[in-house]
Structure 1
Amino acid sequence: MEQLTLTTPALLFSAISLIMLAYTNRFLAYAAVIRNLHDIYLEKKDDSLLRQIKNLKLRLNLTRWMQIFGISSLLFCVLTMFLIYVGLQITAVYIFGFALILLIISLGLLIKEIQISAQALQHHIADIEEHLERK
């Protein structure tokens, strides 16, 4: 088994930090869109807005879980570094492996969320194309 050093889990710090920044930006963008759609819905009571809000709710939940798994991965990387520091090498290796699995789950959820976002945009494009064909 390879020796795990402090630098290995430390390398993930910058990557996870950038990922968390991207996740937070997505979360804030969804929150702004949901607030805007909420105000529009209160005025118009349009069912198509409910579909959009339902879609955004799903994407918001996925983003929340992406953040939870990403933060947990970072936490376990820190725990790995502590375990290396106190000399518990074998435990550190397993904890670091678990941190990597959490990061993989977070990135997998990101892929799912991107697919849902792309589908939602395809529906909007189809609506625009249908409207243009009627003209």
Structure 2
Amino acid sequence: MNHLNHLTLNTPALLFSAISLILLAYTNRFLSYAALVRQLHDNYMNKPHGLLKDQIQNLRKRLYLIRAMQVLGVLSLLLCVLCMFLVYINWMGTAEFVFGAALLLLLASLGASIHEILISVHALELHLSDMQ
């Protein structure tokens, strides 16, 4: 194996801060959506309206996506920790495989985030639909 491609304890550790910041952003997004769902639910219970129901459905879908984003991100972080342990005990082949899996999970988390952002446009369209 080429020395430049050698996996060290520092390699998976580099992702810790990035994954932590991503998880923080996901959590903040989740909390703001949860508050909005509660508010829309209360509004709907007081005065049922189809638009409110559509907005709540959209937010439900987005909350499920955020949950998936968080789970994938946490799994990526866990695999980074496992990778570091495997490097520590010198199981390099397994460590490289686990690190690759961690990167794929992070990629899937970011992909779900892009999907969530794209459907958020639909939520804004629902919100503005009464102005047309």
1:33 is aligned to 36
Identity %: 58
1:81 is aligned to 84
Name structure 2 gaps, 5 residues minimum.
Answer: none
| Alignment-mate amino acid for residue 95 of structure 1 | V
Give the CA deviation at 1:48. Answer: 1.0
- Answer yes or no: is 1:117 the counterpart of 2:120: yes
2:69 is aligned to 66
Q: TM-score, normalised by structure 1?
A: 0.92
Give the CA deviation at 1:97. Answer: 0.1
Give the CA deviation at 1:121. Answer: 1.1
C-alpha separation in 1, matches of 2:23 and 2:100: 20
Q: Following TM superposition, where does structure 1 have runs of at least 4 consecutive aligned residues deviating by more than 2 angstroms? A: 122-128
C-alpha separation in 1, matches of 2:104 and 2:37: 31
Q: TM-score, normalised by structure 2?
A: 0.94
Count how many residue pairs are aligned between Structure 1 and Structure 2.
129
- Answer yes or no: is 1:98 the counterpart of 2:92: no
| Alignment-mate amino acid for residue 114 of structure 2 | I
C-alpha separation in 1, matches of 2:49 and 2:125: 20
C-alpha separation in 1, matches of 2:39 and 2:123: 17
**Superposed CA RMSD:** 0.9
**2:25 paired residue among 6, 22, 25:** 22
Name structure 1 gaps, 5 residues minimum.
Answer: 131-135
C-alpha separation in 2, matches of 1:37 and 1:88: 52
